[in-house]
Amino acid sequence: MKNFFAIAVYTLACASAGAQIDRLLEPIKPSATIAKSPESPAPNSKAVVLGDAAATLGAAAFTAELEKELSARLAIRGELKLSLTRPWQPVKLPVADFTVSITELPTSGLSGTFFIRVKVNSGRELVGDWQVPLAAQLWQEVWVATSRLDRGQSLSAALVSVQKVDVLRERNPLISAETDPASLDLVTSVAAGRPLTRRDVVGRPVIRKGQVVEVVAQNGMMAISMKALALENGTTGKQIRLRNLESRREINGEVINENKVHIHF
């Protein structure tokens, strides 16, 4: 009987010791504060460093560089937005830094769709030389009719509003918001909500046909002033025909303001 109890005690002691050993040898669980590994970049993400000497060039980074380069090369006003019209496969780069150079501009100028030729360099290596198909939008602030405008009407800021428009979608050049609408007259009717084009307007004359104006004729330091009859309308800076009221002779002069014309001998 004593031997039975001794064996039982020994068995329990071994089991307890075994449990302690198991706890000591249990693998350490990861701490909740350990940072997770970064997820794979989205297909259109910017260049992402993959290692000490490797990176990829995504579509977003590529088109962003093209927008800056093309805007500078063509002196573009407004916000240029480009998108690739063919699927883009991320390009491996030897280093994270890269440059995009346009070697051939669009042959017919900037339009809704076009091709350009591009080189990509990374470090000292030429990564690629491609002809790239692009779709473009060029957003500029222009004048838009707030209500119907009729032919022959004089424009004013009260009749139009400034809106951002993709000017590449319009067949005719639009009137920039930098132009004073009060300097324009309508030669066509324009529907409400439509942008104004250059075909819709003409410069408002500061001198009108039949008006008597002062003419300043200058030759070097010598200047002569006379009166003349305007034979046609004229805007500032435009050459118009005039008739000298005394000699009845016709002359040409440059419109300076609403009552003065300048001519050179």
pLDDT confidence of residue 187: 94
Domain that holds residue 249: 212-264
The values of phi and psi at residue 125, to 5°, are: -105, 145
pLDDT confidence of residue 65: 95
pLDDT confidence of residue 265: 67
Question: How many angstroms separate the Cα of 162 from the Cα of each of 128, 157, 194?
Answer: 42, 9, 11
More confident of the two residues 234 and 49: 234
pLDDT confidence of residue 221: 79
Cβ pair 68, 99 in contact under 8 A: no
Of 121, 138, 155, the position where a domain reaches its end is 138
Of 203, 220, 239, the position where a domain reaches its end is 203
Of 203, 236, 251, the position where a domain reaches its end is 203
Which CATH number characterizes residue 186's domain? 3.90.1210.10
Q: Is the pLDDT of residue 111 over 50?
A: yes
pLDDT band at 66 (very low <50, low <70, confident <90, very high): very high
More confident of the two residues 224 and 230: 230
pLDDT confidence of residue 147: 95
| Same-domain pairing of 160 and 224 | no
How many structural domains is the chain composed of?
3
Question: Do the domain assignments include residue 11?
Answer: no
pLDDT band at 54 (very low <50, low <70, confident <90, very high): low
Q: What is the mean pLDDT of residues 227-236?
A: 91
Nearest-angstrom CA–CA distance, 12 and 18: 10
b/e map of 156-186 (b: 16 or more CB within 10 Å)? eeebbeeeebebbeeeeebbebebebeebbb
Residue-wise pLDDT for 34-52, tens only, equals: 233 333 333 333 333 334 3
Angle at 232 between CA 229 and CA 235, to 5 degrees: 105
| Same-domain pairing of 121 and 146 | no
Question: Do the domain assignments include residue 38?
Answer: no
pLDDT confidence of residue 30: 33
> What does pTM read for this prediction?
0.65
Question: Do the domain assignments include residue 156?
Answer: yes
pLDDT confidence of residue 136: 97
Instruction: State the amino acid at position 88 in one-letter form.
Output: W
Which CATH number characterizes residue 232's domain? 2.30.30.760
Write the burial class of residue 95 (CB in 10 Å: 0-12 exposed, 13-18 middle, 19+ buried).
Answer: middle
